[in-house]
Structure 1
Amino acid sequence: MDVAAQIATWLNLLANALGRYLLAPIGWLPGWLSATIVSAATGVLLLVIFKCTSNQQAIRRVRDDIKANLLALRLFKDSTSVTFRAQGRVFWGAFRLMLLAIVPMLVMVVPVCLLLGQLALWYQSRPLRMGEEAVITLKLGDSAESSWPDVRLEPTSAAEVDVGPVRVLSKREICWRVAGRENGYHRMRFQVDQQTSEKEIAIGDGFMRLSTKRPGWNWSNVLLHPWESPFRPDSAVESIEIDYPDRESYVSGTDWWVVYWFVTSMVAALCFRPFLNVNV
C-alpha cells in the first residue's frame, strides 16, 4: 500500500502541474460551457488513444464478421440451423470485441482517473462565501488507545472560528466551525503537539479550484483528493477535511458533473469517430 500511495502521489504531481494551466479557464467560463468543452475534448482525446493502442485491423475484421452474420439472420431466418449458427457467431464476435478493447481500456484508466480527480477540484463543491460557515475536521492518527495530543487551530483573519474545538473521542476527531472572512486561497495552520500541519481553504464566489480534504497515506484517497500532499504514515494527523457546500447544477454541480462528463464525452467520441476513422 505504501508503494501504491507513493506512485499515486507522483502521478498527482504531474496531473496538478498540467491541470493548473489546462483547466484554469474553468475559473472564468460559465459552468455549462466549461463542462461541455472539457467533456467533448476528453471524448475526442480518448478516441485517439483508443485508435493508437488498439488493433484496428482485427476490430475491423470482427465487425465485418458480425455484419455478415446479421445479414445471414435476415436472409435465412426460415432455417433454424443457420439462424443458431449465425447467432452464436454474433455473440462470439461481440466477445472478441470486448477482448480487443481490454488493452486500450487499461491504457486509458490511469489518465481518466487523474482527470476526474482534477475536475472534482472545480465541480464537486463550491468555495465558502463571505460570512458562510463550514466545519473543519482534523482526524488524528494512531490507535484509539493512544493519548490525545494538544491540538490547536492558529487564529487567522481569513476564517474566524465560531465553535470549537469539539472532540469526537470515538473517531479521534477534532472539529471547528469557521466562517469565511477574506476572499482568496488561505492556509489554515494546526498545531498538534510540536508538529505543524496545514490545510488550504478557499473563500469566494464562482468557480475556484478547491481541495475538500488533505488525505492520509492511502492510495485511493490520494487519487480522490489530488491537490494537497498527503500526510505521511508517521504523521500525528491522518487527514484534515473541510465540509464545503454542494454546488447546485445539473451540468457542473456536485455529483451531476460526473454524469454530464460521461454522457457528453461519449457523444463527442461517437460524433468524431467517422472523421478519425476509428473502429470500436
Structure 2
Amino acid sequence: MIDDKQTNKKPPICFFVIEPKYFLGIVIREAEKKGTIVPYASPRCRVFEGTSGSTGISLALVARALGYEAEIVLPDDTAVEKSQLIENMGATIVKVRPVSISNRSHYVNVARDRAQRFIEDGGKGLFVDQFENQMNWLTHYETTGPEIWQQSRGKVDYFVAGAGTGGTIAGVGKFLKSVASDVQLILADPPGSGLFNKVKHGVMFSKTEIEGKRRRHQIDTVVEGIGSNRLTGNLAQIIDLVDDAIRYLSLSLIPKDLLKIHNLLSHHFFCV
C-alpha cells in the first residue's frame, strides 16, 4: 500500500477478491436450534444444496465437520476438479443437465425437491437455498464487511465483486455504504450475464438474447458460478445501490478495466 499523503495522486483503490462461505455454518446451527436437523444422529441428518461447485465444496467440508451427510446437486458440465473435491470430502453428488432456472430439472430445483422428498420419507434434512436464503447476505453484512473495513483501516474507495448468489456484494456493499456512503460498489459481470445491463440500464438483458442469437434457454455465462439472468433474493437487497458495472473475462483484467473506465491511473493495491 502506498501512502497517498506522500503523493499528490488520488486516494488508493482497494480490490477485494473474496469467496467466504461463513453463512453455511450459521444456517446449519440455526436449523439445529429449531430441531430441523441434529448433529451426529443415527441415521445421519442430511443437508442439500444445488450449486455450480464452489458452495458444494464448502458445504461438503462444513457438513462433515458438524456431523451431517451432504448431498450436492451439480450441473454435469461442472469442472471435474470441483466434483472430485466434493466427493473426496464424503458428500454425495447428483449430476443433472444444465437448464434454465425456470426448468424443474435445474440443479437448484432438483436439490430442493430431493430435500423435500427426503423429509417426506421420514428423514431429517435441510435445503440450504444459498440464492434466496437471507442469511447469506446478512452474514456478509455482519462479518465480511466489518472485516474488510477494519483491515483496510477504513480506506476503501471501491469494492468490486462478481455476483453468483449476490450474497457477498449485497452484504459487504450494504455495510460499506452504511459506514462510508461515498464508497463505490462495482459489479464485475461476465459475458452471458444480464446483470451488467441491469445495473447500467435497469433492464436484465444479455447480448446472447439478441434476436437470431438467442438459445431457447439461456443457461451459462463464460465464468462458472458467476453472473445470472435473474435477480436473486440476495442480490435484490443491493442492486439499486450498485454504482457501476464492468464486463470481464478474467479477474486479472478487472483492475485495468476499472482504472480505464474511471480514469483512475493512480496507485492501487490488492487485498485478497
Q: Same fold (TM over 0.5)?
A: no
TM-score by length of structure 2 reads 0.23
Q: Which has the higher contact order (CA 8 A, sep 6+)?
A: 1
Indicate the structure with greater strand content: 1
Indicate the structure with greater helix content: 1
TM-score by length of structure 1 reads 0.23
